A and B are shown apart, each in its own frame.
Chain A
Amino acid sequence: MPAVNTASLPDIVFMLLFFFMVATVMRQNTLMIENNLPFADQVEKLDKKDLVMYIYAGKPSENYKQYGSSAKIQLNDKFADVKEIASFIAAERASKREELVPYLTTALKVDSDANMGLIGDIKQELRKVNALKINYTTKKGSVLGNN
């Protein structure tokens, strides 16, 4: 039986490699929480990536079990208290050009199983600092997949 010619194997692999290299977005934040986003189908795209502030919430993931099992907020790379949101928003705003500040959107990346109490607190804090544009980040799909 003749050996299969594998000369084109590197080419194929390189093609795949380039695809993944281009498609990869390195995460800015290391997630310390479970972040299984809910599904929704009436979604709009967040267009300007640099004008988005991310607030994560969910229960601590396997490696951070010592922080308890109730949902927590994560800002940048660490767990945060609800009260820290105001300073986080202020810091984000300060890092952007002044004329872009009104266009900033807050994306809430919240785990499906988190309680609304926490989200309500976050929203209240955001209202206090007048960051009114929010986006509930969701996966695309039918809402019936949520249960």
Chain B
Amino acid sequence: MAKRAAPEVNAGSMADIAFLLLIFFLVTTTIETDSGINRKLPPMEESEEDVVIKQKNIFTVLLNGKDQLLVEDEIMELKDLRLAAKEFLDNGGDKSCSYCKGAKDPASSDNPDKAIISLANNRETTYKTYISVQNELVAAYNELRDARAQALYNMPFTQMEADYKDVNWPGNKEKLKEKIDKIKADYPQKLSEVQE
């Protein structure tokens, strides 16, 4: 039987086909954003008892309809908010807080455990400003927690949380959880929100 070579397939147009597919995927690709600021809403049932909170333990942040920021009755720029919040939270006015590095000003918050940040916004406030403010306040907490974790366990708090979430992390998760809870108890996130 005569052996015939199989005719070669012309692959010249392969690049064209691949390009076509490539362009299709390029156009349809949207790299999905799947990260953001996690918050927990307060439950609906209203507590009956009125909790008395000292005025000095409340850090009021007001956002008006023109996206202006009023912090403790003073107009403030967004970039100064983080530091102001940190100073308030870390103040330790009644000297019961052994780890606070703040000014110990008796006119400011007593203890990080008692300090509450109250964020009020208007219906006209734009979302991006609100998110910026949220972000700065969360950042203030995170920085304080980072510093505390660094002092106690020689590791930033954000790293500890990332390790805790990581399934492949080899260490003891229960111990890590304890440490995370300790830091969270030292600087509890107390953020209350109102809308006018």
Contacts and interface: CB of A to CB of B under 8 A. Distances in A.
Interface in A20-67: 20-21, 23-27, 37-47, 49, 52
Contacts of A136: 36-37, 39, 131, 134
A137 interface: yes
Interface stretch (A9-17, A81-89, A96-104): A9-17
Q: How large is the interface on B (under 10, 10 to 19, 20 to 34, 35 or more residues)?
A: 35 or more
Contact of A107 (B36, B42, B129, B165): B36
Interface string B1-40: 0000000000100110011011001101111111111111
A64 to B, nearest CB: 18
B122 A42 contact: no
A120 B128 contact: no
Interface stretch (B84-92, B101-109, B135-143): B135-143
Contacts of A9: 15
B35 A119 contact: no
Interface centre among B30, B32, B125, B129 (most CB of A within 10 A): B32
Contacts of A78: none
Interface string B100-129: 000000000000000000000111111111
Interface residues of A, number: 58
Contacts of A2: none
Contacts of A131: 41
Nearest to A20: B25
A42 B139 contact: yes
A65 B29 CA distance: 25
Interface string A113-147: 11111011001001110111111111110011011
Interface of B: 11, 14-15, 18-19, 21-22, 25-26, 28-44, 63, 78-79, 121-132, 134-136, 138-139, 142, 165, 195
